[in-house]
Amino acid sequence: MKQVPDTTEIKIDPVTHTLIREGVPNIVNPYDTYALENAARLKDADPSVNIVVVSMGPEQVRTALKECLAIAADKAYLITDRAFGGSDTLATSYILSQAIRKIEALEGYTFDAIFCGKQAIDGDTAQVGPEIAEHLGLPQVTYAVELSVEGQSCKVIQQGPEYRQVIAVDLPCVITFTQPDFDVRYPTIKRKMKANRAKIDAITAVDLSEIDLTRCGLKGSPTHVKSTFVPVHDNHIVMFEEETVEESAVKLADVLNDAHII
Amino acid sequence: MEAKTKDLWVFIETKEDGSARNVGLELLTPGRTLARDQGGDLVAVVIGFGADAAIAAAAGQGADKVIVVDGEEYQHYNTDAYAGAMTHLIEKYGPTTLLIGATSYGRDLGPRLSCRLGSGLTADCTGLAINPESGIMEWTRPAFGGNLMATIVCPDGRPQIGTVRPGVFKKQPPVEGAAEIIREDFHMPAEEIRTHLLEVIQEAAEEIVDLEGAEIIISGGRGVGGPEGFEPLKEMAEVLGATVGASRAAVDSGWIPYAHQVGQTGKTVAPKLYVACGISGAIQHLAGMSGSDTIVAINKDPEAPIFEVANYGIVGNLFDVVPALTAEIKKLKN
């Protein structure tokens, strides 16, 4: 899970041409809520399912982890360390894969599946899920909308380029989710109160004894942001402003026709 | 890993019938200039089954070489077979740069590959340029839902890899190709392929929505007001042989299925003509359609941001404008 700024609320400062992040709420990445909902549905069908939610980021991410606990998760871990700051997707996925191994050791079992959102709405890269799969040597299914599990085999409905398709994969595996047809559930008051009291363990670099810190953070990242800028749309618009909008429409149709656009 | 050549590779994604998906061919257009700037050849990499059509198409778009991996296991995309084949080719030939179309399969393959090779990947690019001093690629991509553009570099890892959005670049008219065709006999053992396509869920014929292939898209947003509000748009689409699109607002309201959605969380499109009806033009929507050749905006609000990207605009109620437009188009078509 990733905590992200609600990008629909982001505005550009018209003077400085920079992002105004102040007052923009932080939310659980919407695609991650689809992953959580799919996990919750597996737990609905089989109450022995245990859902652990993991996020990397600063202390403020605890709010988002608590939200996931309130919705459906049984346990939450925060992966946080200054040494992890500035990581690109490859470094992030490396740290997360190390943390997943550590959590397995702490919990005393191995995960059957790792669910992720297809992408985060701030970075939009869709890279961390498949990269975790590669680090852990697991098969992956991306763009999933829902799934069913029978024993060790899993049938995933995937949003393909043209059609939806059913993909078979064995557990353990990594699955990344896009928007399903069903709504995600809201937390109950009871779960909310329980989540507020929940203790969330932090995992830092010292807890990950096997981690190679040269592969973490800014220095461990093969890609770097060279510059950022605000996009400007440089277009010349022709407005049709005849007596009536119907006349404007006729004129527009004529122009499009003359230009062989229609 | 180290690059062995200065070549630039373009991954040509294939369909089940062995033809190429458009985006791979589109990428050969900037690929030619970039390969030259980089000081190497432009190489198209075709992976598929019975992919002669894709090979010919890539040669016709000016590739210097076409490297082909052909086999039954590549007919339907699967991560293990494709990542295995691509890793084999990259380790053998050592290209400097690899471009992949940012389709759902390209975005599945790219990160798997970059992680295996320990190289950097920049996703969903809309701009590509070789820095003349450093000689490395500068990848430009939208972030924060299109509010911000970022230029990313990968100084050391090779190959530097990027996925590029469909529709950003245009295919060129085919030329007589003199490409060298190199066939690589590489097969992925069945036991190493861990995902299997069981079934394709075909939607009913009238529900197939080919937004990415559409030449004209008539799109509706919050302004259509309800499912029945799409009727005049559908009528215009029928007259023009167009496809109906929608903004997230209309899809989230349940007025039209998700398959019609254009924008950051839907399809990225670049048709010849995009008609936005009652769409205010949230940045997330613009991110998915601003590459269209011609954009027409019809909106009641003269301040709507859609007018900032449109080429033609009418301020007015779409329920007045669209039927009048359809009637005039009908007249012109006769």
Cβ contact, residue pair A140, B122, below 8 Å: no
At residue B92, the pLDDT reads 97
Contact B218, B275 (CB under 8 A): yes
Task: Please state whether the predicted TM-score (pTM) of the whole model is above 0.90.
Answer: no
The DSSP element (H or E) to which B84 belongs, if any, is helix B79-93
Which sign, positive or negative, has the C-alpha torsion B208, B213, B216, B218?
positive
- Contact at CB, B150 and A236, closer than 8 angstroms: no
* Those residues with Cβ within 8 angstroms of residue B259's Cβ, 6 or more apart along the chain or in another chain: B203, B207, B209, B211
- Cα radius of gyration (chain A): 23
User: Chain A contact for B53, CB < 8 A?
Assistant: no
Spatial contact of A171 and A155, defined as CB atoms under 8 Å apart: no
What residues of A are in contact with residue B124 (Cβ under 8 Å)? 124-126
Q: Do B108 and A142 touch (CB under 8 A)?
A: yes
pLDDT in tens, B4-47: 999 999 999 999 999 999 999 999 999 999 999 999 999 999 99
Pairing relation of β-strands B243-246 and B273-277?
unpaired
pLDDT for residue A20: 74
CB contact under 8 A, A249 and B124: no
Task: Pick the residue of B21, B312, B334 with the most A CBs within 10 A to test the interface with A by mutation.
Answer: B312
The three-class DSSP label of residue B58 is: helix
Q: Do B208 and A162 touch (CB under 8 A)?
A: yes
pLDDT reported for residue A46: 95
Is residue B88 within 8 A of residue A104, CB to CB? The reply is no
Per-residue pLDDT reduced to its tens digit, B148-176: 889 999 999 999 999 998 888 888 888 88
**Which pLDDT tens digits describe chain A residue by residue (262 residues)?**
999 998 777 776 767 666 677 788 899 999 999 999 999 999 999 999 999 999 999 999 999 999 999 999 999 999 999 999 999 999 999 999 999 999 999 999 999 999 999 999 988 899 999 999 999 999 999 999 999 999 999 999 999 887 899 999 999 999 999 989 899 999 999 999 999 999 999 999 999 999 999 999 999 999 999 998 887 766 788 999 999 999 999 999 999 998 888 8
Instruction: List the single best residue of B23, B122, B124, B144 to mutate versus A (max A Cβ within 10 A).
Output: B144
3-state secondary structure chain A: CCEEECHHHCEECCCCCCEECCCCCEEECHHHHHHHHHHHHHHHHCCCCCCEEEEECCCCHHHHHHHHHHHCCCEEEEECCHHHCCCCHHHHHHHHHHHHHHHHHHHCCCCCEEEEECCCCCCCCCCHHHHHHHHHCCCEEEEEEEEEEECCEEEEEEECCCCEEEEEEECCEEEEECCCCCCCCCCCHHHHHHHHHCCCEEECHHHCCCCCHHHCCCCCCCCEEEEEECCCCCCCCEECCCCCHHHHHHHHHHHHHHCCCC
DSSP H/E element including A5: strand A3-5
- Residue B191 neighbours by CB under 8 Å, 6+ apart: none
> Shortest CB distance from B312 goes to which of A124, A169, A237?
A237
CB atoms within 10 A of CB B3: 18
Q: Which residues pair with A239 in a beta bridge?
A: B313
Tell me whether B107 touches chain A (CB under 8 Å).
Answer: yes
| Any A CB within 8 A of B334 CB | no
Q: Which residue of A has its CA nearest to B260?
A: A162
Enumerate the residues of chain B whose CB falls inside 8 A of the CB of residue A7: 144-145, 147, 284
Mean pLDDT of B188-193: 96
| Interatomic CA distance for residues A146 and A128, integer angstroms | 20
Q: Which residue is associated with the tokens 């075709």?
A: B46
Is the pLDDT confidence value at B204 over 60? no
What are the residues facing A55 on neighbouring strands? A78
Average pLDDT, chain B: 93
Is B147 in contact with A126 (Cβ distance < 8 A)? no
Q: Give the per-residue pLDDT at B26.
A: 95
Name every chain A residue with its beta carbon within 8 A of the beta carbon of B258: 179
Chain B residues closer than 8 Å to A5 by CB: 144
pLDDT in tens, B252-283: 999 998 889 999 888 888 899 999 999 999 98
Residue A143 to residue A129: CA distance in whole angstroms: 11
**Which one of B253, B314, B319 makes the best mutation probe of the A interface by having the most chain A beta carbons within 10 Å?**
B314
Nearest to A245 among B80, B284, B321 (CB): B321
A60 touches chain B (CB under 8 A): no
Return the beta strands (E) in chain B as ranges. Answer: 8-13, 42-48, 65-70, 97-101, 121-125, 127-130, 137-143, 148-153, 160-164, 180-183, 195-201, 216-220, 243-246, 273-277, 294-299, 312-315
pLDDT of B89: 98
Report helix, strand or coil for B213. coil
Angle at B157 between CA B151 and CA B163, to 5 degrees: 50
With CA atoms as reference, the chain A residue closest to B237 would be A262
What per-residue confidence (pLDDT) applies to A106? 96
Q: What is the pLDDT of residue B105?
A: 96
Q: Quick one: pLDDT at residue A241?
A: 93
Asked if residue B79 has pLDDT above 70, the reply is yes
> Residue B205: pLDDT band by 50, 70, 90 thresholds?
very low
How many Å lie between the alpha carbon of A197 and the closest alpha carbon of chain B?
32
pLDDT at residue A14 in the model: 66
Contact B151 A225 (CB under 8 A): yes
The residue among A89, A124, A221 with the most chain B CBs within 10 A of its CB, best to mutate, is: A124
Side chain identity, residue B103 = T
